[in-house]
Structure 1
Amino acid sequence: MSGPVPVPSEPCGTVVPAVEPAVRRKRTGERRAEIVTVAARTFAEQGYSNVGMRDIADALGIRSASLYHHFSSKEEILYAICLSVTREPVEENLPLLDAAGTPAERLTALVRAHIRHLLRRRVEFLVGLHERSSLTPEHRAEIDGYLHFYNRRVRDVLAAGMRGGEFRELNPSLAALGLLDMLNGVSSWIRGEQDADTDEVVETYTAMLFHGLAERLAPERAGPRH
């Protein structure tokens, strides 16, 4: 007489392991970061307007449905790219301006961190620079807010250094704009450590910013004083 096929049961006391929420969040975060990196490269190579969600999914080697599980639209991916070069520096770099030390010491630390972050996020920075106008007004306003806040913090530490006599007295707002423009310009020519050593870039830029290019003249070369 035949009967139902017995189904093996788990041994008494056996617990089937479940994915911990923290592990799941980590995996999700890593997948989103991968999507942002690949999408930034795709946008940089083909242009934001020429790329669709299917193109990004193909570049990642996943199905479109899997991509939509993490991002609802191409614009949302662009928004995440822009956050990686605006909110991320605010969170990672600006605490250096609140550390102990003189304005010059704190600003030097920021310059070093800024360049290193820019080299790490070079493609994302260029995409954000050229494609930010494609964001929704709400997302664009948030990104601009991070940029303005970062600039204001740099301006304030420059102003503090000027008041204390560490820096020349200049318009601190213009000085902050010029400093950040010089730093961000690294992204237009450097391609990573294969073209120039990161440490050398950092050292050269900090030397130019805080010591200038003119060689200090010895007293005998400085000319007569009147």
Structure 2
Amino acid sequence: MIEDLSRSQQEILDAAAECFMKMGPDVASIDDIAGLLGATKGRIYHHFRSKGELLYAVRLRSVSLLMEKVSPIAAQDLPPVEKLRAMSTAHVMRILQFLSYHRVVSEDTRMFFRGSAKPHEKEMIQQIIELRRDYENLYRGVLSEGIEAGVFAKQSISITLHSIIILMNGPCFWYSPRPEQTDKDLEEIARSVSDLVLRAVLAEPALLKGE
């Protein structure tokens, strides 16, 4: 579904993510999303059966956006340090470019309480869980490569993985877009966060370029 979104579906999800971010999923309504789109509720219901389905679709797209950018980098034949730098930089850039999607995910953690979810929504939840696991495994792979090569510190991969994900997702909480910011400014933020990620995993942090 997320890989084959039509332009109309993308526009609806963009508006939904914006409303969920600004108002919260409990408060934002289909009317609010339609109003932001300048469309009728019928246009939304043509593609999405409920607000719950919209919320899960926003969550699924947030992970899909990361996967489509980072997985090609993970597949490249690069040294572990260079690969992790590129992967983490790409991750942060995605966060900055699609902030509303990722902020909704970071601020609303209730998706795993499945009691009220409809059957098709539970299927979407399972998709999210599986895609997120696949995404995390990209980082498990490069961390394993780096540890085996002796360039990353020998430490728990699971603890390291979840720690660097917290670092990479940090802009969800503290970044505020400004009209004067350029792509170059965003790239500098992404590189700075990537440096923090590398310092957390390198066997010799002083090996970072410029130190």
Task: Tell me whether the two structures share a fold, i.e. TM-score over 0.5.
Answer: yes
What's 1:13 paired with?
none
Equivalent pairs: percent with the same residue?
25
Higher percent of residues as helix: 2
Pairing partner for 2:193 from 201, 205, 211? 205
1:181 maps onto 2:169 in alignment: no
Cα distance in 1 for residues equivalent to 2:32 and 2:145: 49
For residues 141 and 19 of structure 2, the distance between their equivalents in structure 1, rounded to whole angstroms, comes to 37
Structure 2, unaligned runs of 5 or more: 112-116, 207-211
Aligned length: 189
RMSD across aligned positions (CA): 2.4
How far residue 132 of structure 1 moved from its aligned partner, in angstroms, is 5.0
In structure 1, stretches of 5+ residues that fail to align are 1-25, 217-226
SS in 2 for 1:50: coil
Per the alignment, residue 46 of structure 1 pairs with 23
User: Normalising by structure 2, what TM-score?
Assistant: 0.80
Q: 1:65 to 1:206 in 2, by over 3 A?
A: closer
SS in 2 for 1:168: coil
CA distance in 2, matches of 1:211, 1:52: 43
Quick check: 1:96–1:106 contact (8 Å CA) kept in 2?
Answer: yes
| Mapped partners of 2:161, 2:31: distance in 1 | 41
- For the pair shown, the structure with the greater C-alpha radius of gyration is 1
RCO higher in structure (CA 8 A, sep ≥6)? 2
Between 128-137 and 37-46, the greater mean CA deviation after superposition = 128-137
**Match of 2:130, as an amino acid?**
G
Q: 1:67 to 1:130 in 2, by over 3 A?
A: same
The question of whether the paired residues in 2 share the 8 Å contact of 1:53 and 1:64 is answered with yes
Question: SS at 1:62's partner residue?
Answer: coil
Q: Which of 137, 141, 145 is matched with 1:160 structurally? A: 145
Write out the 4+ residue segments of structure 1 that deviate beyond 6 Å after TM superposition.
none
